Structure 1
Amino acid sequence: MYTDLQYVFPLDDRYKCPICSSVLDAPRQTSCGHRFCDRCLQQAFRKGDAHCPIDKEVLSANEVFRDRCAEKEILQLVIYCPNREFGCKEQLPLKELESHLQECKYTRVECIHKDQGCDALFPRHQLAQHLEKECNFRQVSCKFCSEGIPLALMQDHLAQCPRAMASCPNGCGLTDVTREQVDQHLLEDCPLVEVECSYSGSGCSFKGQRGQLEEHNALSMAEHMGMLTASLARLELSYSESRRELQEVSNQRDLLQNTVEQQVTEITSLKQKVDKQDTKIGALQKMVANQTDKLTKFEEDLTSAAKKVDVEDQKKDLVAVKETMKITENRLTMLETRGSGGGGLFSGVAGEVETQLASQDRQLGIHDVRLAEMDLRFQILETASFDGTLLWKIKDYTRRKHDATTGRTLSLYSQPFYTSRNGYKMCARVYLNGDGMGKGTHMSLFFVVMRGDYDALLPWPFRQKVTLMLLDQDQGRRHLSDTFRPDPTSSSFKRPTSDMNIASGCPLFVSQAVVEGSPYLKDDTIFIKVIVETSDLVGP
């Protein structure tokens, strides 16, 4: 995993595997106290006779454990960026390598049009320039129909474009018209197009240029009339045969109609028989219902006779219940009499209770307002980042771009993010239809310093390196990015005196044609990432 890396300081032998002599990869410690790569140990165990190359002790797979201390020390080793040969001068701990490569502008990436044929490979920071100016498969507009066409396919398109200028292929003299007009001309007007005689359906075999057709019609009029007469005779014969066939079909239809009427009569007779059967079934159902009622009544009488003893017991219980109810009514009357005599006392207590209830209602209202304010603050905190990194998801791109184009909503602000819990407060601002020099052609992306709760404890002006990124939603390697260090003299990076400073960033961040092409726009959504360097910050 780490074999091809260049280390800033000479590599200590304790970080090298005794088997492969490379830096330890997933270090494991054995019973003899030496460290090895996990991969090297597994290969040795598979051979069946594993010995430590240092002290020749036999190694056992059951006496191997993960060396977390060595892992942490190796991850702290300082390395050069693998893109050093391409111009990157970063020196960083090994543990930060993966995140750095995701942002390094010197990482070699492929063109997003690779599937169409572009096999170019270049540093990430040149991707935008390649897509806008160099790629042979970038979208360009046809000068005739304005349709977006990949540059490499433009010649093929021009050979077929219906709006391209052309002339009559027959050389009749028609020039400087569109290909659409040439097609219409060949169909209707060109005198050199070969056409058939208008009497070809009657038997004329003449084929010639449209300009010769009129002369042919004049010379062959008698012949055409004879062809028409013969054609009419054939039509009359065909008409007579059709009438005869139609008469036969009519006769068959009459026979079928008679058959249908007979079947309708039979169906009506059967329906009457079914109705009679339904009447008989209804009568039988009534008889069954009467018999069922009689049987039920008989069972009830039998049950009543069998439980006379239970009825006597229930009568006794009923008398006892009535006596209890009478006693309860007397007690209730006494209570009501006492209540009417002490009406003043009860009304005073009721008034005091109502006052307390009103006070409690007011307190509940105050608590509801406070809870709503706290809920809003929690929602903001839940989406906030405190490590100097903002990941901003912008949905409904098409609608928001339209709002920006029409002037309804020119720009969008992201949620706030912070360099730490007590650090700088910041946000991003995007103009989907561009701002300034990029208006109408580019997406403009800016960084904004906001007024925070701990500004009095922070060093000013703001000096941290800022990286703005448009994320690739396909392979995740072709992000478009731009990095800058703040100008200490700019008012954009002084301590804020209002809610936020003037935005600073890239009016020409990326062209709209690149944004709206795969893989940066998917499901009508784009992702923007802002990274603020925090490694050299000291907390307040």
Structure 2
Amino acid sequence: MYTKLQYVFPLEDRYKCPICNNVLDAPRQTSCGHRFCDRCLQQAFRKGTAHCPIDQEVLSADEVFRDRCAEKEILQLVVYCPNKEVGCKEQLPRKELESHLQECAYTRVECVHKDQGCDVLSPRHQLAEHLEKECNFRQVSCKYCSETIPLALVQDHLMQCPKATASCPNGCGLTDVTREQVDQHLLEDCPLVEVECSYSGSGCTFKGQRSQLEEHHALSMAEHLSMLTASLARLELSYSESRRELQEVSNQRDLLQSTVRQQATEITSLQQKVDKQDNKIGALQKMVANQTDKLIKFEGDLTSAAKKTDVEEQKRDLAAVKETMKTTENRLTKLETRGSGGGGLFSGAAGEVETQLAAQDRQLGIHDVRLAEMDIRFQILETASFDGTLLWKIKDYTRRKHDAVTGRTLSLYSQPFYTSRNGYKMCARVYLNGDGMGKGTHMSLFFVIMRGDYDALLPWPFRQKVTLMLLDQDQGRRHLSDTFRPDPTSSSFKRPTSDMNIASGCPLFVSQSVAESKTYLNEDTIFIKVIVDCSDLVSP
């Protein structure tokens, strides 16, 4: 926009771009000390190696910076208003040009009726005259109804104006009345309007001008009377049929009322019996609930005590085996020392000891495995949730994601969690590099039904609402979640016949770029939460 301005004083060379020879636009200074338009420099760099046109020095895009001093100086240059050719004589600094143009009387502006169709551009000081005398869309009043309408639509309005002068279109002689009076005239008075006979409802097919209707009535009186008689007979027959049907409906109503009263009496009696049964059932439910709580507590205490006893016994056995092994090793050392000078004197004893030692090693290994299994079971029990909520912490995200990308470990399973102590057994499954449609682009998160100890007592298929969440570790308010209701026909939610059903969930749960942002990935750790709605579940 600046290259078309006229400057009051001759433009100095230091304000001109050496490439386009116009006034500098967004001036940039290079390492050689010369100034160029930003646009000109960018075009030169896109063509390849750029050289300064003044000293031929090679220019580098990394050594170009914005010349704010030149920008300020250029904005202080005095220019003529662009509307000089049409009469504006204003001279002002270029930085004030934009605000001046917003008020300049010679700036061409759009008509205020542009949205109605006027596309005229006129100088600002002539806009009022245009709106008053020239605009085809200026508002005028209809001479008949005084409604305000655009000038260009006056003729269309007059064709429909209800107050405009009109005459009867049938040529009956009615003139110099309003269009709405003509409409009323055609509806009620015009003798040339074609009408039907007043007895058309009884079967008369006559159609003619309103002026012929009285003559038709006089000539067809007997025929009309016959039509009325026949119509009345049909009405009487229809009335008799209606009365008969009404009597039948009345009889049926009386019968139904009697039946309803009898059933109401029976329902009242049954309701009293049901209330008594409800009271008994309520008392029994309280007793069962108390006994169930006691039984669950007792089973928990018994299980905990039994498992602790097993662990303590395993530890004692392991200590005894280690002590036996140590004693055996000492004996073997003594035998080897005593037999080193006697050739094969103690070779038989040494072989026997080695056999015992190997047996002890095997026994020790068995006890180590059993102890490890017990430790794992205790860890699972300690982290298990029994309220339908899983909070899963996944550490070493980068390594686990790399294992998923390379195919070493495609997915991870969470620890089991339950809807109650004897409820559904469940877990979560995550594909850090995505699965199916989300592979390579998204994190896929699934919900899995596992085979539990109390499945025989639970209702199937599984129907509880499930919410999958990736937790916000930054501000705690932008958790990502997806909620679904299980499909009762899906095999994923039927009673498990193997260790676990097929997983069901969200292949496109969250894009990897979002999941790996600092909001959800912190210290190489993410948190996944699964919530199962247990509000309507009843423990077996």
Q: TM-score, normalised by structure 2?
A: 0.51
Q: 1:52 offset after TM fit, Å?
A: 0.7
Q: State which structure, 1 or 2, has the greater radius of gyration over its C-alpha atoms.
A: 2
Tell me what 1:16 maps to: 16
Q: Which structure is higher in RCO with an 8 Å CA cutoff and minimum separation 6?
A: 1
**1:82 paired residue number:** 82
Matched with 2:2 is: 2
Q: Are residues 223 and 277 of structure 1, via their aligned partners in 2, closer, same or farther at CA, if it must alter by over 3 Å?
A: same
Who is 2:504 aligned against?
none
Cα offset, 1:38, TM superposition: 0.9
SS of equivalent to 2:136: coil
Deviations 1:194-240 (A, max 9, x none): 11110111111111111111111111111111111111112122222
Post-superposition offset of 1:185: 0.9
How far, CA to CA, are the matches of 1:78 and 1:279 in structure 2? Answer: 99
Residue 149 of structure 2 aligns to a residue whose secondary structure is: strand
**Aligned residue number for residue 125 of structure 2:** 125
Aligned ranges for residues 336-347 of structure 1 at < 5 Å?
A: none
C-alpha separation between the residues in 2 aligned to 1:286 and 1:175? 95
AA aligned to 2:209 is: Q
CA deviation digits over 1:269-309, x for unaligned, max 9? Answer: 12212343466689899999xxxxxxxxxxxxxxxxxxxxx
Q: How many residues align?
A: 291
- Offset from partner CA, 1:142-195 (integer Å, 9 cap, x none): 111111111111111111011111111112121221111111111111111111
| Residue of structure 2 equivalent to 1:269 | 269
CA distance in 2, matches of 1:228, 1:150: 57
Per-residue deviation, 1:115: 2.0
Q: Which residue of 1 aligns with 2:94?
A: 94
1:85-484 equivalences in 2 (<5 Å)? 85-277=85-277
Displacement of 1:260 in angstroms is: 2.1
User: How far off is 1:53 after superposition?
Assistant: 1.1
Q: Which residue of 1 aligns with 2:533?
A: none
Greater mean deviation of Cα atoms: 50-59 or 231-240: 231-240
Distance 1:286-1:97 versus aligned 2 partners, 3 A rule:
closer
Deviation, structure 1 residue 262: 3.1
Q: In structure 1, the residue corresponding to 2:51 is in which secondary structure? A: coil
Task: Provide the residue aligned with 1:32 in structure 2.
Answer: 32
Which amino acid letter does the alignment assign opposite residue 102 of structure 1?
Q
* Helix, strand or coil at the partner of 1:3: helix
Q: CA separation in 2, counterparts of 1:150 and 1:276?
A: 82
Q: Please list every run of 5 or more consecutive structure 2 residues that lacks an aligned counterpart in the other structure.
A: 289-540
> Which AA in structure 1 matches 2:256?
L
Note the aligned Cα RMSD (angstroms): 2.5
Residues 42 and 282 of structure 1: CA distance in aligned 2, closer, same or farther (over 3 Å): closer
What CA distance in whole angstroms lies between the structure 1 residues aligned with 2:217 and 2:5? 89
Distance in 1 between the 2:256 and 2:131 partners?
Answer: 76
| Structure 2 SS opposite 1:195 | strand
Corresponding position of 2:492: none
Q: Deviations over 1:480-512 (max 9, x none)?
A: xxxxxxxxxxxxxxxxxxxxxxxxxxxxxxxxx
- Mapped to 2, the partners of 1:286 and 1:56 lie a distance apart of 99
Aligned residue in 2 for 1:52: 52
- Structure 1 regions of 5+ residues with no counterpart? 289-540
Aligned residue identity for 1:176: D
Secondary structure of 1:261's partner? helix
Q: CA deviation at 1:85?
A: 1.9
C-alpha separation between the residues in 2 aligned to 1:262 and 1:48? 102
Q: TM-score, structure 1 length as denominator?
A: 0.51
- Tell me: CA distance 1:286–1:87, structure 2 relative to 1, closer, same or farther (3 Å): closer
1:15: how far off? Answer: 0.9
Q: Secondary structure at the match of 1:106?
A: coil
User: How many percent of aligned residue pairs carry the same amino acid?
Assistant: 89
Q: Distance in 2 between matches of 1:252 and 1:87?
A: 97
1 CA distance for matches of 2:19 and 2:113?
44
Q: Distance in 1 between matches of 2:200 and 2:277?
A: 72
Letter in 1 for 2:88: C
From the superposition, tell whether residues 15 and 170 of structure 1 become closer, same or farther in structure 2 (CA, over 3 Å). same
Kindly provide the amino acid, as one letter, of the partner of residue 81 in structure 1.
Answer: C
Q: Deviations over 1:109-157 (max 9, x none)?
A: 1112112111111101111222222211111111111111111111111
